[in-house]
Structure 1
Amino acid sequence: MIDFTPPPHVQQTVRDIHQFITDEITPIERELSAHLVNEHLYLREDGQLAPEVLAAQRAIRTRSADRGLYALHMPKEVGGGGFSLTDMFFVHEAVYQHGIGVAQWMLSWTEGPNRMLMFLTDEQKRKYLAPMMRGEWTAAYAITEYRGGSDVLGMETRAERRGDEWVLNGTKAYITNAPYAELMLVCAMTDPSKHGAGGTTFIVERDAPGLHIGRTYRTIMDDGMTGELRFDNCRVPLDHTWGNEGEGFYLSMGMINWIRVRRGGMCTGLGQYLLDRCIAYIKSRQAFGGPLSRFQALQWMIVDSYLDVQAMRALSLQSLWQADQGDLWQLKVDPGLIQVVCALKVFCDEALYRVADRAVQLHGAHGLMKESGIEKIFRIARNLRIPGGTDEIQRVNIAKALGL
């Protein structure tokens, strides 16, 4: 029988996380309390983060890195913690059990380092990965396009070799962290005739000639983190590729798999946070001559959320353990591992959405208020079902792995 009890070093890290949140993050969250419930304070008129919010995000990121908590999933040889995927479940769960405020900024997410960056050259690691590990630099992983979302191979951005440079042309859409990143990691077609082997990923610094930071989108989350990148004869040196020519799609899928596996701890932690709040609320809320908790209809909603949280935790741990037995961080991943990762993502995303929907309903009008924090998690839960591969794409991948 597999024992999913977190090992001692992970238990200590979870304690360190809770202490860090108490010491470092709670005071910042208090300072930003008005911003967190008012998008007009949280965001500038152009949709980007307000200066004080952006400064807080960077401060939390660098302080967490100083404590050795920011990139625990990365190998020790580059300054990470060397944690397994199963270990990281407990890390993500611990952070998200605090809900959604600013605590999530203490962990490397889409903007931070991921294991596929180990395919960088030693010089590239020194120049780019090292400041990312310190939380000083962030990246924008530019894959999606207006006409090429789920259809990754349909991307239209092109890169052409001209002399001692690559020249990029095209537009990337809905890119997380595009408004702020120091580094753009851009997947573009170098040889469309080769299909999956025809893409290459390029390292494009923010000040590269021909790179234009486009508009910032107003998304369902109102978080100011998603933007557009335009490449108009954008020139980068020949050695500014991440991996070899033709490996771009495989590297991009590795990064996407990192997005997927993180959902286990994230969704379970948020689900537990909502469940705890719902139980406390219906036990304390008085109506019709007593607490709401005496009504069986509401009890069953609580029980259904409990079942979803328990199922998320069990499926995540089993899936991540299976992924740890293989190698998710290679260019061509075994279809069986993809099946496991996709199952984790689609189940946890949909289960959290159910839990969040019930939480809004159980809290009634209060659940719709910004200051409750409940409606924000509901919006985030709905958002999760699209980035990193839609629910439908996960099912397509699982069906393929099942031989259908």
Structure 2
Amino acid sequence: MPATRTLPSPEAVDLIGLTRELAEKELAPRVAEAEAEEKFPREVFRTLGRAGLLSLPYAEEYGGGGQPYEVYLQVVEEIAAVWASVAVGVSVHALSCFGLAAFGTREQKDKWLPGMLGGELLGAYCLSEAHAGSDPGAMRTRAVRDGDHYVLDGAKAWTTHGGHADFYTVMARTSDTGSRAISCFLVPADTPGVIADPPEHKMGLTGSATATVRLESARVPVEHRIGEEGQGLAIAFAGLDCGRLGIASVATGLAQGALDHALRYSRERETFGRPIIEHQGLAFVLADMAAAVQASRATTLAAARLKDQGLPFSCEASVAKLIATDNAMKVTTDAVQVLGGAGYTRDFPVERYMREAKVMQIFEGTNQIQRLIIGRALRESDRGTLRVHDQGTHRS
């Protein structure tokens, strides 16, 4: 089923077309083998980087694509419909660049951002720890000032691209108490004392390397601190708002891919002398799947438009992440059901889509955390629902 999208310009139309073509020609032939063998597709990211697809939402003056977030998310969705592991990697790379792009000094951005956005380098984001997943304020990784350096010690869990990244954006404790206890650091991967453990053996997204990154007396120059000392949690939370939209678009693309496969199968498979899509019971399942995909897409792009207008979008990002990832779990499960016994085998990709969908409900903040964020926003609103004019604007 063709995706319904709002494309704001001819340039965006061309960009979506380029991404779709690249995904079909470069990604689709590789995905099954890479996921089955749990191989990290580093060269695929270089291909995307050379096509300018790793830096779309960032300023052109630093080598970015200068695209609205709405367009960038549609690119991520196109990639996810073919290869979710790679789409997650694109989102994580964008997140790893966010701190520098949004909070770095002019000198820092001039020095590092062009290389980070140029397409050859790949970033990773180090916030979570084994004991402090949903509570980053409880992190134990520490950065101690030593002259013109900080010395970092600790371990960051669940790091996407761990062991393959060229740089890490690391949150570390610079104080023991208070709301400004965490700071943000840009850490090159070749820094002595930066060590990646073997990758986790995961249920899904097996082509995406996820590892614990250990920092053992890793010395980082003071000039690699992003923002002020103690500003790290503010940087992290602002970045996660963007990252949640990225994961929402990945989940939407994953669900779209599952729907596409289910539709093809339902048109070809016959029972009782006719294609199974002509049986009302199954057609209703497919209709619900299509409605869920379109609801996910609309919710995600609505939040992106707020961001593009410079309006608050934190709650809307949580809504999008919650809806899109819950819908992806339902749609991919239904895709397996549509294919029946065949869907439970590895002869078809829908079983992989179902395994991949589960983690979407967990990372970038579990969906229980998203509900806490949404509930808090509702308590602070004087309306039962959140509307555009609640945020300082209105429609004429």
Shorter-chain-normalised TM-score: which range? 0.7 to 0.9
Quick one: structure 1 residues 170 and 153, their matched pair in 2 at CA, closer, same or farther if it must change by over 3 Å?
same
**How far 1:167 moved relative to its partner?**
1.5
Structure 1: gaps of 5 or more residues = 44-48, 328-333
- Whether 1:208 and 2:191 are equivalent positions in the alignment is yes
Is contact 1:62–1:134 with CA below 8 Å preserved after alignment? no
Is contact 1:140–1:183 with CA below 8 Å preserved after alignment? yes
**How far 1:123 moved relative to its partner?**
4.3
Aligned to 1:46: none
- Whether 1:278 and 2:280 are equivalent positions in the alignment is no
- Whether 1:394 and 2:370 are equivalent positions in the alignment is yes
1:176-187 to structure 2, matched below 5 A, reads 176-187=160-171
The separation in 1 between residues aligned to 2:190 and 2:148, in whole angstroms, is: 18
The one of 348, 351, 361 equivalent to 1:375 is 351
The separation in 1 between residues aligned to 2:270 and 2:184, in whole angstroms, is: 58
Render the CA deviation track for 1:187-226: whole Å, top value 9, x for unaligned.
011113123x211012222232332222311112223510
Structure 2 SS opposite 1:246 = coil
Structure 2 residue identity aligned to 1:168: L
TM-score by length of 1: 0.85
Structure 2 SS opposite 1:223 = coil
Is contact 2:91–2:247 with CA below 8 Å preserved after alignment? no
Is contact 1:216–1:224 with CA below 8 Å preserved after alignment? no
- Whether 1:268 and 2:252 are equivalent positions in the alignment is yes
The separation in 1 between residues aligned to 2:80 and 2:162, in whole angstroms, is: 24
The separation in 2 between residues aligned to 1:72 and 1:312, in whole angstroms, is: 21
Structure 2 residue identity aligned to 1:220: M
1:264-343 to structure 2, matched below 5 A, reads 264-326=248-310, 334=312, 337-343=313-319
Quick one: structure 1 residues 165 and 68, their matched pair in 2 at CA, closer, same or farther if it must change by over 3 Å?
closer
Is contact 1:339–1:401 with CA below 8 Å preserved after alignment? yes
Render the CA deviation track for 1:21-68: whole Å, top value 9, x for unaligned.
455x15xx53x46623632xx44xxxxx4xxxx4xx32x333333333
Structure 1 residue identity aligned to 2:19: I
The one of 200, 203, 206 equivalent to 1:217 is 200
Structure 1 SS opposite 2:217 = strand
Structure 1 runs (4+) deviating above 4 angstroms are: none
Quick one: structure 1 residues 369 and 200, their matched pair in 2 at CA, closer, same or farther if it must change by over 3 Å?
same
**How far 1:350 moved relative to its partner?**
0.4
TM-score by length of 2: 0.86
The separation in 2 between residues aligned to 1:325 and 1:388, in whole angstroms, is: 23
Is contact 2:142–2:154 with CA below 8 Å preserved after alignment? yes
Structure 2 residue identity aligned to 1:129: L
Aligned to 2:36: 38
The separation in 1 between residues aligned to 2:216 and 2:65, in whole angstroms, is: 39
Is contact 1:36–1:101 with CA below 8 Å preserved after alignment? no
**Identity across aligned pairs (percent)?**
28
1:134-213 to structure 2, matched below 5 A, reads 134-195=118-179, 197-213=180-196
Aligned to 2:383: none
Structure 2 residue identity aligned to 1:275: L
Is contact 1:160–1:168 with CA below 8 Å preserved after alignment? yes
Quick one: structure 1 residues 381 and 33, their matched pair in 2 at CA, closer, same or farther if it must change by over 3 Å?
closer
The separation in 2 between residues aligned to 1:7 and 1:300, in whole angstroms, is: 35
- Whether 1:95 and 2:105 are equivalent positions in the alignment is no
Aligned to 1:330: none
The separation in 2 between residues aligned to 1:145 and 1:11, in whole angstroms, is: 40
Quick one: structure 1 residues 215 and 127, their matched pair in 2 at CA, closer, same or farther if it must change by over 3 Å?
farther
Quick one: structure 1 residues 127 and 35, their matched pair in 2 at CA, closer, same or farther if it must change by over 3 Å?
farther
- Whether 1:81 and 2:65 are equivalent positions in the alignment is yes
Aligned to 1:116: 99
The one of 42, 53, 70 equivalent to 2:54 is 70
Is contact 1:323–1:341 with CA below 8 Å preserved after alignment? no
The one of 10, 13, 16 equivalent to 2:12 is 10
The separation in 1 between residues aligned to 2:226 and 2:310, in whole angstroms, is: 23
**How far 1:352 moved relative to its partner?**
1.1
**How far 1:155 moved relative to its partner?**
0.7
Aligned to 2:394: none
Render the CA deviation track for 1:73-96: whole Å, top value 9, x for unaligned.
111111112111222233223333
Is contact 2:54–2:93 with CA below 8 Å preserved after alignment? no
The separation in 2 between residues aligned to 1:102 and 1:178, in whole angstroms, is: 14
Structure 2: gaps of 5 or more residues = 381-396
The one of 213, 220, 243 equivalent to 1:229 is 213
Number of corresponding residues: 373
Is contact 2:242–2:317 with CA below 8 Å preserved after alignment? no
**How far 1:7 moved relative to its partner?**
2.0
1:344-355 to structure 2, matched below 5 A, reads 344-355=320-331
Render the CA deviation track for 1:108-141: whole Å, top value 9, x for unaligned.
3213454432123344334432222122222221
The separation in 1 between residues aligned to 2:97 and 2:148, in whole angstroms, is: 29
Quick one: structure 1 residues 215 and 61, their matched pair in 2 at CA, closer, same or farther if it must change by over 3 Å?
closer
The one of 331, 340, 365 equivalent to 2:341 is 365
- Whether 1:256 and 2:240 are equivalent positions in the alignment is yes
Aligned to 2:388: none
The separation in 1 between residues aligned to 2:278 and 2:238, in whole angstroms, is: 48
Q: Which moved more, 1:237-246 or 1:318-327?
A: 318-327
Render the CA deviation track for 1:155-204: whole Å, top value 9, x for unaligned.
11111112222122211111111111121221011113123x21101222
**How far 1:388 moved relative to its partner?**
0.4
